[in-house]
């Protein structure tokens, strides 16, 4: 159990704070810690919220070991300051205790498609400025990956409910079970008077392994599984393919839902895994087993055929290749595939004018303008599978440019 007051005492309040510099959203960490030490929790909460409306979430899910904690100067010789724990306390208190007041409306309608971290940030930022924001979310609950991906043992759904209440305080309208693309199109939204549209629809198509047997009944994509794990019967022995955070979440969830033996099979070594060290060690602690230097070859009725791999140099570059004749059958009841995601293209297929890259991501400039006038985008649907903080950070920039655009077009209308 972390003692936050002690953590705050441990902070050296560096003038050129490396923790702040390495925070993708530049959280003013020393200032917040000083306010916390002074007991000025509300002021600290306001600073955190104004800098990052999803501070309460980032305090839990950010890869802190690569950001604030990993760059704490105290960590060179001693235990680094666990700022994220202080941030979590402050931001939870702030969202619970502060009644947000609906800003005066400027009467300009904006549509936000998708309620993941990117859409939520744009909604907060524009609602604060007085825009009349409506969120369109295809699912019955808001939050995107925060609700339908990251398991609740890592991220409490109460925090997402808190964010929903604060959005409603700001006057944001939330349309759940509303997919934009096939029936509600972008042009229909413009015709109805929305002056600008934000697309933050994320990446929900699992990437294929492209091996035989992938469609069998005992083989599932991890992001599909994580949406509703309790409805799956995975059996006793499960193999997860992949080694990112999605793979760790799927493995831990399978274990918590009754699988006795869960293996993560990965073609490289621990240090190459994209999951954070923290997530890997939590998985190990919960009894997940790892099969490194093993690659999937085929899914069969009795399990999965794996091959051993080895590191080698090709043209001066380090790569990994399968060892010839090393294939063997690894018997198991189910396989969960977690090798990244790509966007579903419901919106762009049904709406001419929004161009995508070769990989299916929405094409934008650095300020989030898409190729269709008045339409902006960011988050995973632009970057590819990334992180919550990257989605929030880009959404802050994009909401600024939407504001600029809206001010310009409304001035033109007046003239
Ligand atoms: P999303 O969160 O994907 O939200 C998109 C929303 O748009 C969804 O609600 C979707 O239903 C909605 N939508 C899609 N199409 C339509 C449509 N046509 N009409 C209306 N609504 C639509 N990142 C971290 O920083 N830390 C972690 O620990 C972490 N763990 C992860 C674990 C898992 C299992 C996964 C899958 C990802 C994880 N990530 C993590 C990545 C992170 O969650 C994403 O980068 C982030 O959620 C991207 O935000 P987004 O708003 O762009 O998209």
306 CA from centroid of ligand 1 (Å): 30
pLDDT per residue, tens digit, the chain (415 aa), is: 889 999 999 999 999 999 999 999 999 999 999 999 999 999 999 999 999 999 999 999 999 999 999 999 999 989 999 999 999 999 999 999 988 899 999 999 999 999 999 999 999 999 999 999 999 999 999 999 999 999 999 999 999 999 999 999 999 999 999 999 988 999 999 999 999 999 999 999 999 999 999 999 999 999 999 999 999 999 999 999 999 999 999 999 999 999 999 999 999 999 999 999 999 999 999 999 999 999 999 999 999 999 999 998 888 888 899 999 999 999 999 999 999 998 887 776 666 789 999 888 999 999 999 999 999 999 999 999 999 999 999 999 999 999 999 999 987 776 6
146 Cα: distance to centroid of ligand 1 (angstroms): 7
Q: Pocket of ligand 1, candidates 116, 154, 351, 360: which has the most ligand atoms within 8 Å of its Cβ, to mutate? A: 116
Residue 374: closest CA among 400, 402, 352: 402
**Could you tell me the distance, in angstroms and rounded to a whole number, from the CA of residue 144 to the centre of ligand 1?**
5
Q: Kindly tell me the number of DSSP H helices and DSSP E strands found in the chain.
A: 16, 16
Instruction: Please give the Cα distance from 116 to 208 (Å, whole number).
Output: 23
> Distance from the CA of 379 to the center of ligand 1, in angstroms?
8
User: Is residue 84 within 8 Å of residue 68, measured between CB atoms?
Assistant: yes
- Non-local (6+) Cβ contacts of 153 within 8 A are 252, 256
Residue 204 CA, ligand 1 centroid: distance in Å: 8
CA distance 54 to 101: 18
Ligand 1 site residues, Cβ closer than 6 angstroms: 61-62, 113-119, 136-139, 144-145, 149-150, 179-181, 200-202, 223, 226, 245-246, 249, 346-347, 379-381, 386-389, 391
- The whole-model pTM stands at 0.95
CB neighbour class for 112 (10 Å; exposed up to 12, middle 13-18, buried from 19): buried
Phi–psi pair at 346, nearest 5 degrees: -50, -45
- Ligand 1 atom 28: the closest Cα is on which residue? 61
In Å, what is the CA distance from 303 to each residue of 213, 233, 238, 296? 10, 15, 9, 11
CB 250 within 8 A of CB 286: no
105-to-108, 127, 168, 210, 404 alpha-carbon distances in Å: 8, 9, 14, 51, 17
CA 290 to chain centre: 24
């Amino acid at each position: 159990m972390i003692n936050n007051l002690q953590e705050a005492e441990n902070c050296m309040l560096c003038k050129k704070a490396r923790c702040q510099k390495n925070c993708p959203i530049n959280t003013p960490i020393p200032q917040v810690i000083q306010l916390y030490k002074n007991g000025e929790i509300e002021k600290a909460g306001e600073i955190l919220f104004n800098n990052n409306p999803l501070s309460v979430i980032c305090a839990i899910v950010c890869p802190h070991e690569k950001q604030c904690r990993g760059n704490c100067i105290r960590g060179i010789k001693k235990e680094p300051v666990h700022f994220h724990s202080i941030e979590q306390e402050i931001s939870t208190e702030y969202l619970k205790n502060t009644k947000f007041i609906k800003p005066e409306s400027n009467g300009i309608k904006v549509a936000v498609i998708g309620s993941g971290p990117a859409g939520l940030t744009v909604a907060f930022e524009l609602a604060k400025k007085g825009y009349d924001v409506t969120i369109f979310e295809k699912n019955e609950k808001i939050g995107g990956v925060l609700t339908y991906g990251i398991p609740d043992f890592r991220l409490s759904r109460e925090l997402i409910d808190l964010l929903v209440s604060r959005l409603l305080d700001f006057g944001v309208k939330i349309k759940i079970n509303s997919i934009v693309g096939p029936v509600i199109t972008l042009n229909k939204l413009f015709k109805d008077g929305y002056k600008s549209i934000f697309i933050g629809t994320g990446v929900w198509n699992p990437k294929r392994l492209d091996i035989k047997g992938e469609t069998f009944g005992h083989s599932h994509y991890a992001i599909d599984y994580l949406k509703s794990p309790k409805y799956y019967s995975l059996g006793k022995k499960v193999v997860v393919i992949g080694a990112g955070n999605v793979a760790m979440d799927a493995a831990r969830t399978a274990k918590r839902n009754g699988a006795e033996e869960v293996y993560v099979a990965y073609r490289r070594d621990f240090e190459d895994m994209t999951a954070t060290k923290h997530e890997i060690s939590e998985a190990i602690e919960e009894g997940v087993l790892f099969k490194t230097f093993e690659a999937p070859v085929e899914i069969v009725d009795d399990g999965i055929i794996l091959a051993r791999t080895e590191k080698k140099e090709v043209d001066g570059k380090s790569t990994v290749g399968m060892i010839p004749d090393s294939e063997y059958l690894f018997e198991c009841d189910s396989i969960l595939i977690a090798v990244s995601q790509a966007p579903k293209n419901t919106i762009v297929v049904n709406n001419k004018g929004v161009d995508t890259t070769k990989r299916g991501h929405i094409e934008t400039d650095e300020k989030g303008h898409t190729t269709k006038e008045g339409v902006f985008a960011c988050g995973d649907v632009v970057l590819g599978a990334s992180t919550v903080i990257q989605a929030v950070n880009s959404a802050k920039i994009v909401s600024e440019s939407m504001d600029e655009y809206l001010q310009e077009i409304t001035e033109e209308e007046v003239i």
